[in-house]
Amino acid sequence: MNAALTSVAELSRSQLVLRALIVLGPMIAVLAAGPAGHWPPWWVAAGMLALAGVFAAVPESPVGGGVMLAVLGWWAVALDDGLHPAVLVAAVALLVTHLASVLASYGPGEMPVERALVWLWVRRGAVVLLGVPLVWGLAVLLRDQPDQPGVWVVGLVAGLVTTVVAAVVLTAPQPGEDRG
Amino acid sequence: MTSPDARWRPTAALGRALVTAAVAVAAALLFGDPSLVVIAVPFVALSTLGLLHRPTRVPTCQARLDHVALHEGQGTTSRLSVTDADDAEYLTRSHGRPPYVAVRPQRGQVGALLAGPDGPAPTIELSPRRWGRRYLGDEKVALVTPWAGYRFGPVSLAGQQLRVLPTTAAYDSRADAPQPVGLVGAHRSQRPGGGTELAGIRPFMAGDRLRRVNWRVSLRTGDLHVVSTRAEEDTGVLLVVDALADHGASGGVDGTPSSLDLSVRAASAIAEHHVRSGDRVALRVVGRGRELVGFGTGARHLRRLQHTLAGLRVGDVAEADAGVLQLGVTAGTVVVVLSPMLAESIGAVAATLTRRGVPVLVVDTLPPDVRPALVTETDPEVAALAWRMRSLERAAVLRRLASLGCPVVAWRGPGTIDDVLRRLARRAGQPRVVAR
């Protein structure tokens, strides 16, 4: 406990802000389902808080992926018609969490995060966030349209291909890596 | 750089974005829930952009210092040269935290966006706060590609060594050396010669130079009289530094000094003063390293003395008595012993040299409020008692030295040894009994 408190006390102010965002993001993303009529039970919120706390403590750990999947799972389970505007809040909250962990991972926790780097990622975040309302608006427009035959199959195949390509790229030897 | 970490690896952020995007899209397709696609959109973009910036070159990093030899309190810059870093966008440096070295930025951690392949990497400023050899510790360097898809390292760069010379304390002395016997120099000799210091006015003798004639006295007395002066000669100064132990905690150049801090800085200051006065200065360190620098003059010799002081090793010597007593003191040498006077052998050598008629001056470098460092499981009361007994023994040694005619002064900076040297010089001109 003392070691944990010591490590928190050694964090720079900017790192503390980032860690707070990492904790708050998933909580907001889950609670955003509330206005859409699906408030999470206390144990879901508590579990999410615990996971987010671990993620904030170790921003580069695989727990981060688990946090993201837990939020996705809650939205998938809780909503039948997920195109409530609250999903935009959830998308923003998850993106902020991800970017905060990216910024926190650039150096040791004691190192202050450079202002220029923060602004760079704020701009990048704003750019990638542009697609969210566009896709949401498109989905709302197409909600009442009948499904095209095979559209879901094509989408699934596209997703699988993307996943395989990404896996191949990630597992390919990197520069400087011993290929023997 | 052959470290296993010296390669590009996908970051946790890229993996997280990929997993989130893939699972969200797959779940949206399986469950027919478009909200998950909305959430996945930024992660699809981030993972795609991260993968697109896959690096192709292996960077190499090398750190170097602007200066490898400094005085206490001076500063230098650690610069990092990075080659083949075209794929990198951001560089992070994390320096070690060596003792007695101030680092800026604080904690020695700095990161910056790279201004291009040939852009400068962030620098770290270092300022050693205490003399000696300072190992700066390993440094870790990491590079990240645009969109944080891949990270290089962190790789460890071998730590560099800094030789920190003792600070050149403001020190000056106007006192003459007790026994100047050299050929040329700045000290007033006991014998007449062609100097500038007035010795007296005497009748003209064959061989006297005409410009020495004092016309006023000659006219008054009716006979030619000349002004006689004392010769000016150099002297030999042997500095004996006691490095058998270091007493007290050193706070660096701005903090409280330890006994060895005082000894080394005082030795450096005295050496600099005498070298600049044209005297011959030698150094003998009584310690584990038994460093020795012979007599010499000039700026290069002073540099050698300071480097030797910076590299001295603290610790007991195997045969202290035999080693210490072989100082090689010759006639006309002034011996300045810089010691906290807690070792019996140092007191013995000072007493022996004084009995031989060598002018010896002991500079007491024990800090006034020093307390012994306690080993764990040591009873503090026993330690305090032992220290008190040791202090009493030390006081007795100092009294015995004073009774032998060996002056002991505490180091107080400029002018510390002026008065003592003057008294030694006066005493050198008087007849004395010397033990052989």
Could you tell me where the DSSP H helices lie in B193-258?
Answer: 215-221
> In this model, does residue A177 exceed pLDDT 60?
no
- Averaged pLDDT, B75-97: 88
Which of B20, B35, B111 has its CB closest to that of A65? B20
Domain that holds residue A82: 2-147
> In this model, does residue B404 exceed pLDDT 80?
yes
Q: Which residue out of A120, A128, A143 would a mutagenesis test of the B interface target, given it has the greatest number of B Cβ atoms within 10 Å?
A: A128
Distance of CA A31 to CAs A22, A98, B243, Å? 15, 17, 69
Of A150-154, B244-248, B280-284, B306-310, which gets the smallest average pLDDT? A150-154
* Contact yes or no for B54 and A169 at CB 8 A: yes
- Of these ranges, A44-48, A165-169, B429-433, the one predicted with the greatest mean pLDDT is A44-48
pLDDT of residue B181: 47
Q: Which residue out of A74, A170, A171, A179 would a mutagenesis test of the B interface target, given it has the greatest number of B Cβ atoms within 10 Å?
A: A170
Under the banding of pLDDT at 50, 70 and 90, the label for residue B228 is confident
Extended strands (E) in B169-268? 187-192, 198-203, 225-233, 236-243
Query: Domain for residue A156, yes or no?
Result: no
3-class DSSP state for residue B222?
coil
What's the first-to-final CA gap in chain A, in angstroms? 44
User: pLDDT (tens digit, 9 = 90+) per residue, B325-343?
Assistant: 567 777 678 889 999 988 8
Set of chain A residues whose Cβ sits within 8 Å of the Cβ of B7 = 174-177
- Averaged pLDDT, B399-414: 84
SS3 content of chain B, % helix, strand, coil (to 5): 30, 30, 40
pLDDT above 70 as % of chain B: 83
* Contact yes or no for A176 and B39 at CB 8 A: no
pLDDT of residue B197: 66
Q: Look at strands B8-10 and B150-157 and give their pairing.
A: antiparallel
Give the DSSP letter of residue A98. Answer: H
Under the banding of pLDDT at 50, 70 and 90, the label for residue B190 is low
Helix (H) or strand (E) holding B268: helix B259-276
User: pLDDT (tens digit, 9 = 90+) per residue, B217-226?
Assistant: 899 998 888 8
pLDDT above 90 as % of chain B: 12
Q: Give which of B149, B44, B29, B129 is closest to B89, Cα–Cα.
A: B149
Tell me which amino acid residue B435 is. A
Is domain B60-165 annotated with CATH 2.40.110.10? no
A44 to chain B, closest Cα gap in Å: 19
Under the banding of pLDDT at 50, 70 and 90, the label for residue A77 is confident
Give the DSSP letter of residue B322. Answer: H
> In this model, does residue B99 exceed pLDDT 90?
no
Under the banding of pLDDT at 50, 70 and 90, the label for residue B256 is confident
- Burial degree of B210 (CB within 10 A; 0-12, 13-18, 19+): exposed
DSSP string, B327-368: ----TTEEEEEEE-S-SHHHHHHHHHHHHTT--EEEEE---T
Residue with tokens 């990492």: A22
pLDDT of residue A180: 42
The tally of domains found in chain A comes to 1
pLDDT of residue A179: 46
- Burial degree of B289 (CB within 10 A; 0-12, 13-18, 19+): middle
With a CB cutoff of 8 Å and minimum separation 6, the contacts of B4 are none
pLDDT of residue B194: 62
Mean pLDDT of chain B: 82
pLDDT of residue B275: 86
Whether residue B157 contacts residue B78, with contact meaning beta carbons closer than 8 Å, is answered with no
> In this model, does residue B233 exceed pLDDT 60?
no
Q: Look at strands B161-165 and B69-71 and give their pairing.
A: parallel
DSSP string, B366-432: --TT--PPPPTT--HHHHHHHHHHHHHHHHHHHHHHHHHT--EEE--STTTTHHHHHHHHHHHTS--
- Averaged pLDDT, B239-268: 88
3-class DSSP state for residue B202?
strand
Give the whole-angstrom CA distance, residue A14 versus residue A19: 9
Distance of CA A169 to CAs A164, B13, B149, Å? 9, 15, 12
Set of chain B residues whose Cβ sits within 8 Å of the Cβ of A79 = 33, 35
Q: Which residue out of B38, B58, B107, B110 would a mutagenesis test of the A interface target, given it has the greatest number of A Cβ atoms within 10 Å?
A: B38
pLDDT of residue A104: 93
Whether residue B269 contacts residue B279, with contact meaning beta carbons closer than 8 Å, is answered with no
Give the DSSP letter of residue B190. Answer: E
Under the banding of pLDDT at 50, 70 and 90, the label for residue B324 is very low
> In this model, does residue A99 exceed pLDDT 90?
yes
Set of chain B residues whose Cβ sits within 8 Å of the Cβ of A139 = 34-35, 37-38
- Averaged pLDDT, A116-133: 89
Under the banding of pLDDT at 50, 70 and 90, the label for residue A176 is low
Query: Domain for residue A165, yes or no?
Result: no
Q: CA-based diameter of chain B, in Å?
A: 132
Sign of CA dihedral B386, B391, B394, B400: negative
For domain B236-428, give the CATH number.
3.40.50.410
Set of chain B residues whose Cβ sits within 8 Å of the Cβ of A136 = 38
Under the banding of pLDDT at 50, 70 and 90, the label for residue A172 is low
Whether residue B338 contacts residue B312, with contact meaning beta carbons closer than 8 Å, is answered with no
Q: Give which of B140, B145, B30, B15 is closest to B78, Cα–Cα.
A: B140
Of A78-92, B95-109, B241-255, B353-367, which gets the smallest average pLDDT? A78-92
Q: For B107, left (φ over 0), alpha (ψ -120 to 50), or beta?
A: left
Kindly report the backbone phi and psi dihedral angles of residue B70, in degrees, each rounded to the nearest multiple of 5, phi listed first. -140, 165
Tell me which amino acid residue B372 is. P
Of A143-157, B125-139, B246-260, B315-329, which gets the smallest average pLDDT? B315-329
Whether residue B16 contacts residue A64, with contact meaning beta carbons closer than 8 Å, is answered with yes
3-class DSSP state for residue B78?
strand
With a CB cutoff of 8 Å and minimum separation 6, the contacts of A80 are none
Give the whole-angstrom CA distance, residue B144 versus residue B228: 81
Under the banding of pLDDT at 50, 70 and 90, the label for residue B152 is very high
Whether residue B302 contacts residue B282, with contact meaning beta carbons closer than 8 Å, is answered with no
User: pLDDT (tens digit, 9 = 90+) per residue, B16-35?
Assistant: 999 999 888 888 877 777 88
Set of chain B residues whose Cβ sits within 8 Å of the Cβ of A69 = 19-20, 23
Query: Domain for residue A29, yes or no?
Result: yes
Query: Domain for residue A162, yes or no?
Result: no
Query: Domain for residue A47, yes or no?
Result: yes
* Per-residue tokens: A167: 């896996």
- Averaged pLDDT, B86-103: 88
Question: Which residue of A lies nearest to B49 if distances are taken between CA atoms?
Answer: A128
Q: Residue B33's Cα: distance from chain center in Å?
A: 71
User: pLDDT (tens digit, 9 = 90+) per residue, A13-71?
Assistant: 899 999 999 999 999 999 988 887 788 889 989 999 999 999 999 998 889 999 999 99
